[in-house]
Amino acid sequence: MPATAWFAQGSTLPGAPGVKCLETTSTTWLKAAQELATAGGRLLALWASHRGEAGDEVYAAIAAGPGVLVLSLPRSPSQRHYPNLSGSFPAAGRMQRALRDLSGLECGDWDKRPWLRHAAWQTRQPPLAADPELPWGGDAVIDDYPFIRVEGDGVHEIAVGPVHAGIIEPGHFRFSVVGEKVLRLEQRLGYVHKGIEQRFQSLPVLQAHRLAARISGDSAVAYSWAYCQALEGIAGVTIPARAAHLRALALELERIANHCGDLGALGNDAGFAFGLTQFSRLKEWVLRATELAFGQRYLFDLIEPGGTRVDIAAAGQAALDHCLVQVVEQSALVRRIYDDHAGVRDRFVGTGIVAPALAAQLGLCGFAARASGQPFDLRVDLPCDPYTALEVTIAQQADGDVAARVAIRFDELLESCRLVRLILERLPPGPHQLGVPEPAAGALGIGLIEGWRGPVLVALQAGRGGAVLRCHPHDSSWQNWPVLEHAVIGNIVPDFPLINKSFNLSYSGHDL
């Protein structure tokens, strides 16, 4: 069955444009996933929601053809299994392990190792299960976590983490090497599990956007917009045009700041401290102009239900426009220096390659995917207002190495500067905020925003009395962390920090 036929059977979900939901059986769940994958579909997220005495419901959001199709699979209390999706979508593997840890549902995957639990709760007491068998607390059994060993003459293991220097969040990386050549990398994450999804359920639905903004600090705008988009959808609210433009402006400023920071760090990892100095200066300019415009350097609470917390200051508009003219000119100059510097090129070119075929197979997404020949960008492929009228240009590369990911960042930096200046020029008059009523209990809405790293999805179900029944936030790092294990194969150990930084994946957004 073609992808369009599956979409034709679904019903429209509120929130992001182009999203439909289709209730399935175990047979049609697997069949739909297989056929959508064959049609070039991408798994965006996988999660479960408890339904009280009715049991649970498993959801898979898949982007394909006409839009995004959310497959739902009801499970009765006696049905604790659902069909394994990793055969169609390899990225589902870790999501399914996390779903088992949090909700207690099994899929028959070969990998039974826990992903998030880290002995933090008892195995019979998944924190999001409908009917936990035991009270919270008690002794949890320490997991036996066997890493996959690489056998052979001269093979050694290098264990890095989980505790790292400075402010880097925890994650364990186990390298199997011969000399300095990496044969295999195996990650173990989940150390920063914060109980975010359970915490949502204790918050009022009209206030939980503040928690969404703090899921991954470098993507505060993307998460809070995705949450509010889902909420406004189930509440039946259309935000003012000025509010939509201000949100897009903030999202592009977030993209600019992150790309500036990482382009400098990548230069530094290649032994070129000049790049770090210059991009640190440019990022500081952007943050100062952002503060003049909105009263905050980092826009954690700018986006709220119904629009934005504040309007843009008149002085801030002029400051942003002047700042971004300088960023465009000076980043172009530093790009030429990067391109002409033999030492930088030697470190970037051919390092950490993810071939386009592998990127497609593993479900790589975001700017890293666009560096490997996968031109998917929600701002173009499933745009919400005001992106429907901004004509975003998708940056594309095909080599899939560090140099390609750096080139994508430079291109997206310039495009975001253009978009911000265009939004300022077109900023419509009118209010930047309107009231949002409490949504009806049980309604499901999907928020979907292209963050700087990749797609950010928020699935929101309202509960009774203005509460959150279920909120699942999903970061594109879920798809991209496994790809990093492949990107490092065949490279030398000292190149891992450079390859890692070229992806710059989120621990916090991944380990909820």
> Residue 134's pLDDT is what?
46
Within-domain flag for 134: no
Q: Assign 282 a pLDDT band (cuts: 50, 70, 90).
A: very high
Helix residue spans in 149-240 (DSSP H) = 196-200, 209-212, 220-235
CATH of the domain at 88: 3.30.460.80
Tell me the whole-structure pTM to 2 decimals: 0.96
What tens digit of pLDDT does each residue of 212-257 get?
Answer: 999 999 999 999 999 999 999 999 999 999 999 999 999 999 999 9
Within-domain flag for 121: no
Within-domain flag for 42: yes
What DSSP state is assigned to residue 301? T
Within-domain flag for 215: yes
Q: Residues 485, 443: one domain? A: no
Contact 356, 397 (CB under 8 A): no
Q: Residues 425, 444: one domain? A: no
> Residue 132's pLDDT is what?
47
CA–CA separation, 313 and 419 (whole Å):
18
Q: Residues 227, 256: one domain? A: no
> Residue 420's pLDDT is what?
98
Nearest to 489 by CA among 355, 363, 369: 355
CB atoms within 10 A of CB 435: 10
Q: Residues 254, 392: one domain? A: yes
> Residue 450's pLDDT is what?
98
Q: Residues 331, 383: one domain? A: yes
Q: Residues 67, 90: one domain? A: yes
Lowest mean pLDDT across 162-166, 314-318, 423-427: 162-166
> Residue 130's pLDDT is what?
55
Q: Residues 219, 245: one domain? A: no
Q: Residues 481, 466: one domain? A: no
| Torsion sign across C-alpha atoms 461, 20, 215, 240 | negative
| Beta-carbon-side half-sphere exposure of residue 11 (alpha carbons within 13 Å) | 7
Within-domain flag for 35: yes
Structure tokens at 457: 């999805």
Range of 25's domain? 3-103
> Residue 283's pLDDT is what?
98
> Residue 138's pLDDT is what?
52
Q: Residues 287, 186: one domain? A: no
Q: Are strands 19-23 and 67-75 parallel, antiparallel or unpaired?
A: parallel
Residue 139 has pLDDT above 70, yes or no: no
Domain boundary among 103, 134, 159: 103
Contact 12, 50 (CB under 8 A): no
Q: Residues 280, 391: one domain? A: yes
Q: Assign 512 a pLDDT band (cuts: 50, 70, 90).
A: confident
Element (H, E) at 276: helix 273-294
* Amino acid sitting at position 497: P
Q: Residues 296, 413: one domain? A: yes
Within-domain flag for 128: no
Within-domain flag for 48: yes
Q: Residues 367, 271: one domain? A: yes
Structure tokens at 334: 């530093």
- What DSSP assignment string belongs to 428-474? --S-SB---PPPPTT-EEEEEEE-SSSEEEEEEEE-GGGBEEEEEEE
Lowest mean pLDDT across 2-6, 46-50, 129-133: 129-133
Within-domain flag for 295: yes
What tens digit of pLDDT does each residue of 403-415 get?
Answer: 999 999 999 999 9
Domain count, the chain: 4
Nearest to 212 by CA among 232, 226, 231, 192: 226
